[in-house]
Each structure stands twice: as structure tokens, then as C-alpha cells.
Amino acid sequence: MSRIQNTFARLAAQGRKALIPYVTAGDPYADVTVDLMHGMVAAGADVIELGVPFSDPMADGPVIQRASERALLKHISTAHVLEMVRAFRETDATTPVVLMGYANPVECYGPDRFVDDAKKAGVDGVLVVDYPPQECEAFAARLRAADMDAIFLLAPTSTDQRMAEVGRIATGYVYYVSLKGVTGAGHLDTDAVARMVPRIRAQVSVPVGVGFGIRDAETAVAVARVSDAVVIGSRIIQLIENEPRERVVPVAAGFLREIRAALDTLQGETA
């Protein structure tokens, strides 16, 4: 099994929910990302989603758009992101790392070369927002052959057919976008999430993570009650984007400790 699959299996055996923070590589400082990754793990993160900066992140709201812009101004490239993962792996051989981004950087890098270099760096999964499942079966197969997971988004507008298409090739977990719109949007309807997750599970055999709009312990717990994982990105970036270098890791870790503690109050509950 992959590191992601092992992590979810271990958490399921413990009756715990996965905490998956997202940060943009190279933001808010080019040299903080590896320390930030380690700090988030120490605070209770189970999987890390690391954003690959892109100039036109259409699924992302203003907070993550600004993070990508700041990283690009620092000339953070796909190669730099892979080097950050490689540096993280020097002292952490167990925490899964998922690269999240868009097709353009992957295509510019070269899909085969990207998979090879991601494997060598220690990446565990890849989520390409604008790779529809029916058009990237070959890419997903390359990832699986390299013991990496192909992760896909599902949305409130996803049909049963789209869920089935994703379920056929997804590994690791699927990421359910809990509301219409972009990252960081508000008005999270946890009742709607509770109705949607069983529909997803009817079509998908891998764990279901839920993100977009989760900003505090209360919403994290509400979502975790009906899912396998909670994904938080915009709120973390919002908290650290104006902090001095030395405060970035403590601020992010402090927030995640609160979320981890809240999620652990659900230990033993079944979704």
C-alpha cells in the first residue's frame, strides 16, 4: 500500500479522522515551506497537501491566489517544489505528501518526467484540479505504477456518473469540495455535506476528505462526523500570510493543534 493508504488504514483502526492541511509551496517565504511542513506534522497533520504555484488557479479564491502570486514572484517553480519535498523527506519518511495544482505546470514539465521526479522526491499523491478523470487515465496509471496515488475532486454538482468515473481510477482518497465556488468561500452547509458523502461512498471505495470553507474547530468537527478527513487550506494561509518569518510555523501549528484536538473528540465514532 502507499503511504496515503497506510495512513488512512492506521487512522481507521484507531477510530480517528485525518487532518490534511494545505499550504502553497514557497509562501509566505521561499525558505519556510519545509519547516512549515514539519511544524504541521508535529501539530497533528496526517497528510500534507502542498500547492504548486500557478498563475491562473481558477478553483482557488483570493487567499490562495495571493499565495500563488507571492510564490511566483519568488520564482518558485515545479522543480523547487519537488526539492522542498525531497528536503522534507530527509527527516520524515512517513507523512504522506500530496502535490495539488493544475495541468499547465505538469504539461510544461512533461507528465512522464514529472511522475519520475515526483517519485524520486518522495511525493505520495498528485491532485491535478483540471485533469478530468476520463482524460487522464494514462497519467493515473503512471502514478499507480510509481506507487503514487491519483486523487480527484468531487463537487456538489457532481453526477453519479462522474462519481463512478472518479471511483474507477482514484486511489488514496477523493477530495469533496463542500460548496459551490472557490476555496475560502463561506456559508458551509454541513447538512448538505452529510447528505452528499453517502452518495459519494456508493460510487467510490477510497476514503472521502472534505474541504473548502472549513475555518474553525466547529466546522471541522461537523464535517469529520460524516467523512474520513478534513482538508483546510485558505484559513491557514490567511493566518500566516502577514506574519514575520519566525512566526509562520508557530501560528500555523497553533491553529492545527486546536483542530486536531477537536477532531480527536470524535475518536471511536463512525461516519
Active-site positions?
49, 60
SS (H, E, C) 11-26: HHHHCCCEEEEEEECC
Q: Are 245 and 29 in contact (CB under 8 A)?
A: yes
Q: What is the DSSP letter of 52?
A: P
Q: Are 146 and 114 in contact (CB under 8 A)?
A: no
CA 89, CA 219: separation in Å to the nearest integer? 31
CA 144, CA 4: separation in Å to the nearest integer? 12
Q: What is the DSSP letter of 47?
A: S
CA angle 236, 241, 247 (to 5 degrees): 85
Q: Is 160 helix (H, G, I), strand (E, B) or coil?
A: helix
Cα dihedral sign for 97, 164, 212, 63?
positive
The maximal CA–CA distance of the chain, rounded, in angstroms, is: 48
User: Which residues, in sequence order, are CB contacts of 30 under 8 Å at separation 6+?
Assistant: 71, 74, 76
C-alpha cell of 63?
A: 487567499
